């Protein structure tokens, strides 16, 4: 079985035959390759090497999405963390978690790994180290059935890297947890304006229904007779029209007139 093992991008590139036992321990850092993400073409050199994984990832992210992500665990209203609310154990860097998380995340999402537990102060901000060590960011740029491609920046150089699900954890075995996987949430759709409804012809009055209930959509079968005008009958007919009917059939005309504003408001 053959595969390519890790080589330094920008310095040299090699294809070496290795045994299957070496597959898990080695990751592939390939020569420059272009990716199309969110209809934007990006590559390793799309952002300058700055020796800072967070700054580099944010620069690539902004090229892809037109906005930045912040350094918090939760994220913000535009860039939410898909791992938010998971326990430390549920965010452990394992081959299965890597596969599950990255298969669900879209291309262009940013990953942050850390060795800081959620109970620590360092977990709340990427700018705070844990035991003297910071986390690491990568941007997902392509995926296949075995792993994923990403753009990342180290102290010496930026890289176009490929990791299998197993290789990612082995490459970064000094990290323990996934901290976040973020991408911009879907843009809020503008509310669709209701088209003006055609006015229907006035309904004919039904002598079997009290005058105050005419036009409210009640039918002959609706029960609307009550012993006192203080009783209120709410109903929903077959068309889903909701109305409130107050019985004034047996009350003086003056009482019925006084209740008309309430009847009108119920239409």
Instruction: Tell me the per-residue pLDDT of 56-105, one tens digit each, with 9 for 90 and over.
Output: 999 999 999 999 999 889 888 788 899 999 999 999 999 999 999 999 99
Nearest to residue 28, comparing CAs of 167, 229, 217, 226? 167
Residue 162's SS3 state is strand
Residue 2 lies in a domain: no
Compute the distance between CA of residue 164 and CA of residue 153 in angstroms, rounded to an integer. 19
Domain match, 125 and 243 both: no
Mean pLDDT of 131-145: 96
Q: How confident is the model at residue 132 (pLDDT cuts 50, 70, 90)?
A: very high
The answer to whether position 118 is within a domain reads yes
* Residues 152 and 259 occupy one common structural domain: no
Q: Give how many domains the chain has, as a whole number.
A: 2
> Is residue 91 domain-shared with residue 134, that is, in the same domain?
yes
Does 115 map to a domain? yes
Of 143, 168, 184, which closes a domain? 184
Question: Is the residue at 112 inside a domain?
Answer: yes
pLDDT confidence of residue 107: 97
Domain carrying residue 55: 20-184
| Residues whose CB is less than 8 angstroms from the CB of residue 143 and which lie 6 or more positions away in sequence, other chains included | 102, 103, 107, 149
- The most confident of the ranges 7-21, 158-172, 193-207, 241-255 is 158-172
Q: 37 and 108 in one domain?
A: yes
105 neighbors 181 (Cβ within 8 angstroms): yes
DSSP bridge partners of 152? 159
In a domain, 203, yes or no: no
Q: Please report whether residue 10 resides in a domain.
A: no
From CA 25, how far away is CA 167, in angstroms rounded? 6
């Amino acid at each position: 079985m053959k595969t390519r093992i890790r080589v330094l991008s920008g310095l040299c590139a090699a294809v070496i035959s290795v045994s299957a036992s070496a597959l898990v321990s080695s990751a592939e850092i390939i020569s420059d390759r272009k990716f199309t993400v969110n209809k934007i073409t990006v590559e390793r050199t799309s952002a300058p090497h700055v020796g800072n994984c967070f700054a580099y990832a944010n620069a690539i992210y902004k090229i892809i999405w037109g906005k930045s992500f912040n350094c918090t665990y939760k994220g913000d209203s535009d860039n939410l963390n898909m791992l938010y609310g998971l326990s430390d154990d549920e965010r452990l860097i394992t081959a299965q978690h890597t596969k599950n998380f990255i298969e669900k995340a879209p291309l262009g999402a940013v990953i942050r790994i850390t060795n800081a537990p959620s109970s620590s102060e360092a977990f709340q901000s990427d700018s705070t180290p844990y035991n003297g060590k910071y986390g690491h960011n990568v941007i997902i740029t392509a995926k296949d059935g075995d792993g994923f491609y990403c753009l990342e920046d180290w102290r010496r150089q930026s890289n176009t890297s490929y990791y299998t699900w197993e290789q990612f954890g082995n490459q970064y075995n000094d990290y323990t947890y996934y901290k976040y996987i973020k991408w911009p949430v879907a843009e809020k759709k503008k509310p669709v304006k209701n088209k003006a409804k055609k006015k229907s012809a006035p309904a004919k009055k039904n002598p079997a229904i009290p005058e105050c209930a005419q036009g409210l959509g009640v039918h002959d079968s609706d029960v609307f007779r009550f012993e006192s005008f203080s009783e209120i009958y709410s109903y929903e007919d077959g068309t889903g029209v909701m109305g409130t009917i107050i019985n004034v059939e047996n009350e003086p005309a003056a009482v019925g007139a006084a209740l008309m504003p309430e009847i009108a408001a119920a239409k």
